[in-house]
């Protein structure tokens, strides 16, 4: 087995299916061209030395103490991965990791899941073990739960692990079945930053999850996947208004994913884009995980030539928006969109153009 190994993981974009993963719903996601890279070296002792190269930060610890540290920050994700492997009987020695991220931090591209997946891939190469993608995703999720305090679902690591160039990834979080859907060559995505850091550890994410769990409990369901839109409409009176609106967003998102897959298979980009706009409106009104800067970016998109659809991507409360546009109108869209966005935000909107990677 090698004493040194290199690995990487891409970032991910949630295309449609907002907050559905922990409700056993459906999600359409994709990989992006930016990556997080890990260079790992074995040690002959129990010491852990972790370097975040782009941050210029270093953290030192020991395999004997993998509990989350209040001041460890990003290093807690690595500690969480090591704890998850230890819990599964994987024996490791000390190691040194150099982490280099090309993902914009706080942009909602899931830098934390890229970190946990890339770390696992590096450790697998160093110690010569393999693990199914679902188990790797669970380790990433456990690291977020236990070491970062975010009760996230499996979307981010699953999307990263199954990302495929020119394909969207359809994940069913009830059956854990994964399919790839060809993405039409006539369209591309523009990802624009709101300029406000995406930070789920502030508690809003966990509150939304608790509302969804309350809705399922009050309706006598195991999860919100067990109810369709029409039945939810009929049972509105059984839920407090706020809880109903949270459930309406999640159930509606799984419905929108199903319709989106039909649109994609028919090459109906207009219909697909309309579903992205519907999703954003539901995030704004029902789930309240959009914020004014995200709303402004989506509204700026609608005023730009080539716009097909736009929505926030990821947990919300900051981060990025995703814009589906006609590929042959990229330049005219960007000229109009960036000017309109700057007028609304009061500052230039950083952005990049991508297809599924």
Q: What is the pLDDT of residues 127-156, one digit of tens each?
A: 999 999 999 999 999 999 999 888 888 999
Q: For residue 281, count CB atoms less than 10 angstroms from its CB and return exposed for 0-12, middle for 13-18, buried for 19 or more.
A: middle
Residues serving a catalytic function are 156
Arithmetic mean of pLDDT over the chain: 95
Same domain assignment for residues 136 and 74: yes
Number of domains the chain contains: 2
Same domain assignment for residues 142 and 244: no
pLDDT over 70 (residue 201)? no
Q: Is residue 178 part of a domain?
A: no
pLDDT over 90 (residue 314)? no
Predicted local confidence at residue 57, as pLDDT: 97
Residue that finishes a domain, picked among 111, 138, 172 = 172
Residue 56 CB contacts under 8 Å (≥ 6 apart), including other chains? none
Q: Write b or e for each residue in 159-173: b if 16 or more Cβ atoms lie within 10 A of its Cβ, otherwise e.
A: bbbbbeeebbbbbbb
What is the tens place of the pLDDT at every residue in 87-113? 999 999 999 999 999 987 666 788 899
CATH code of the domain in which 274 resides: 3.30.70.890
pLDDT, mean of residues 293-315: 97
Name the 3-class secondary structure at 7.
Answer: strand
pLDDT, mean of residues 163-168: 98
Residue that finishes a domain, picked among 117, 137, 172 = 172
pLDDT, mean of residues 181-197: 94
Predicted local confidence at residue 199, as pLDDT: 58
pLDDT category at 300 given cuts 50, 70, 90 is very high
Same domain assignment for residues 106 and 220: no
CB 114 within 8 A of CB 55: no
pLDDT over 90 (residue 343)? yes
Q: Is residue 126 part of a domain?
A: yes
Predicted local confidence at residue 40, as pLDDT: 99
pLDDT, mean of residues 69-91: 95
| Enclosing domain of residue 158 | 4-172
pTM: 0.91
Residue that finishes a domain, picked among 172, 193, 222 = 172
Same domain assignment for residues 30 and 150: yes
Q: Is residue 112 part of a domain?
A: yes
Q: Write b or e for each residue in 118-154: b if 16 or more Cβ atoms lie within 10 A of its Cβ, otherwise e.
A: bbbbbbbbbbeeebeeeebbbbbbbbbebbbebbbbb
């Amino acid at each position: 087995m090698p004493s040194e190994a290199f690995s990487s993981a891409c970032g991910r974009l949630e295309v449609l299916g907002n907050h559905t993963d922990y409700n056993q719903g459906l999600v359409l996601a994709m990989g992006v061209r930016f990556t997080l890279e890990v260079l790992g070296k074995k040690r002959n002792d129990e010491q852990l030395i972790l370097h975040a190269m782009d941050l210029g930060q270093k953290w030192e610890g020991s395999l004997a103490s993998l509990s989350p540290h209040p001041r460890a920050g990003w290093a807690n994700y690595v500690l969480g991965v090591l704890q998850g492997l230890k819990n599964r009987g994987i024996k490791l020695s000390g190691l040194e990791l150099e982490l280099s991220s090309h993902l914009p931090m706080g942009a909602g591209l899931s830098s934390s899941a890229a970190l946990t997946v890339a770390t696992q891939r590096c450790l697998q190469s160093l110690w010569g073990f393999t693990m199914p993608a679902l188990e790797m995703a669970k380790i990433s999720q456990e690291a977020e739960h236990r070491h970062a305090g975010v009760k996230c679902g499996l979307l981010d690591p699953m999307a990263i692990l199954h990302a495929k160039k020119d394909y969207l990834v359809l994940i069913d979080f009830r059956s854990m079945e994964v399919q790839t859907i060809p993405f039409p060559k006539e369209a591309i995505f523009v990802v624009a930053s709101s300029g406000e850091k995406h930070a789920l550890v502030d508690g809003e994410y966990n509150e939304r999850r608790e509302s969804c769990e309350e809705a399922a409990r009050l309706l006598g369901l195991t999860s919100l996947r067990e109810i369709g839109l029409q039945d939810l409409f009929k049972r509105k009176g059984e839920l407090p208004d706020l809880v109903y609106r949270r459930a309406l967003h999640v159930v509606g998102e799984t419905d929108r994913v199903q319709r989106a897959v039909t649109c994609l298979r028919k090459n109906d980009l207009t219909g697909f884009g309309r579903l992205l706009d519907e999703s954003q409106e539901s995030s704004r009104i029902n789930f309240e995980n959009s914020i004014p800067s995200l709303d402004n970016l989506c509204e700026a998109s609608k005023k730009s030539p080539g716009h097909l659809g736009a929505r926030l991507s990821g947990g919300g409360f900051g981060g990025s928006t995703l814009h589906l546009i006609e590929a042959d109108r990229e330049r005219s869209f960007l000229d109009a969109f960036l000017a309109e966005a700057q007028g609304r935000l009061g500052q230039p909107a950083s952005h990049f153009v991508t297809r599924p990677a």
